[in-house]
Amino acid sequence: QVQLVQSGAEVKKPGASVRVSCTASGFIFATYLIPWVRQAPGQGLEWMGWVTTDNRSTNYAENFRGRVTMTTDLSTNTAFMELRSLRSDDTAIYYCARQWSLNNFDPWGQGTLVTVSS
Amino acid sequence: QSALTQPASVSGSPGQSITISCTGTSSDIGGYDSVSWYQHHPGKAPKLMIFDVTNRPSGVSNRFSGSKSGNTASLTISGLQAEDEANYYCSSYSTSVTVVFGGGTKVTVL
């Protein structure tokens, strides 16, 4: 069964960093991209970027450049997304997915709620 | 403000057909045959319903179909069912090797 399982909910203070993990199973991890997408409360989906599973390449959305780092660990089939200098408007559900072709995300992880609050 | 424009809501009665539009530019929808549609029930993971404009993944009902004309893509749901009530998002590959999403459309089954 192809699936992505994400780490649990996080509560962080403004200015802190958060690291979300995404562990894959049921497919050959090394042959896909792993994108990250977030959804703030009451808002739509926002693409954050992607990382190649060999860690050789990343592509971040302009809104997140300088604050986000996406990495993978082939030995554990796990992808990570670290977001720094958190603000209250970073409160959102963060999703990883398996990307194939230019723009096809399937399946998605279950989502990780990150709450930023003082 | 989302890069792709979708109507905020669309509704229909059971058995009817509805169409959701998704408007972009020549830098995204109009420039690539790479439009996807996702169904999202609150609290669950989004689900891919249409990829590469017109294709359905295995297991997705043939009541869902996609199309594109110029800078606008569309998702049609025929034979509307109660279980189709959800939020639907379009996305497109875009220049600069990025992906853009629409703002989402809430589908209500009356």
Mutate to test the interface with B, among A101, A104, A110 (most CBs of B within 10 A): A104
CA dihedral B54, A32, B4, B14 (to 10 degrees): 50
Among partner residues B46, B57, B91, which is closest to A103 by beta-carbon distance? B91
Quick check: B65 pLDDT over 80? yes
Question: pLDDT, tens digit, for every residue of A40-52?
Answer: 999 999 999 999 9
Q: Is the minimum CB–CB distance between A101 and chain B shorter than 8 Å?
A: yes
Quick check: B2 pLDDT over 80? no
- Chain A nearest CA to B21, separation (Å): 16
Q: Do A106 and B57 touch (CB under 8 A)?
A: yes
Rounded average pLDDT over A17-32: 94
Identify the CA nearest to A83 among candidates A94, A96, A99.
A94
pLDDT of residue A54: 87
pLDDT band at B60 (very low <50, low <70, confident <90, very high): very high
- What is the average pLDDT value for chain B, to the nearest integer? 96
Residue A27: both structure tokens together: 């497919």
In angstroms, the CA A99 to CA B97 distance is 13
pLDDT of residue B1: 59
Q: In 10 A of CB A32, how many CB atoms?
A: 17
Rounded average pLDDT over B44-73: 97
- HSE toward the beta carbon, residue A30, CA cutoff 13 A: 4
N- to C-terminal Cα separation, chain B = 29
Nearest CA in chain B to A63: B98
Question: pLDDT, tens digit, for every residue of A61-112?
Answer: 999 999 999 999 999 999 999 999 999 999 999 999 999 888 999 999 999 9
Residue A50: both structure tokens together: 């992607």
- Residue B38 gets the label, from left (phi > 0), alpha (psi -120 to 50) or beta, of beta
In angstroms, the CA A111 to CA B101 distance is 17
Q: At a CB cut-off of 8 Å and minimum separation 6, what does A49 contact?
A: A35, A36, A58, A59, A60, A61, A64, A68, A70
Q: Spell out which chain B residues touch chain A, with contact meaning CB-CB distance below 8 angstroms.
A: 2, 32, 34-36, 38, 40, 44-48, 51-52, 57, 89, 91-93, 97-104
Question: pLDDT, tens digit, for every residue of A97-110?
Answer: 999 888 999 999 99
Q: Do B98 and A105 touch (CB under 8 A)?
A: no
Q: What is the percentage of chain B residues whose pLDDT exceeds 70? A: 98
pLDDT band at A55 (very low <50, low <70, confident <90, very high): confident
What is the distance, to the nearest Å, from the Cα of residue B23 to the centroid of all Cα atoms in its chain?
11
Question: pLDDT, tens digit, for every residue of B9-49?
Answer: 999 999 999 999 999 999 999 999 999 999 999 989 999 99
Rounded average pLDDT over B1-6: 84
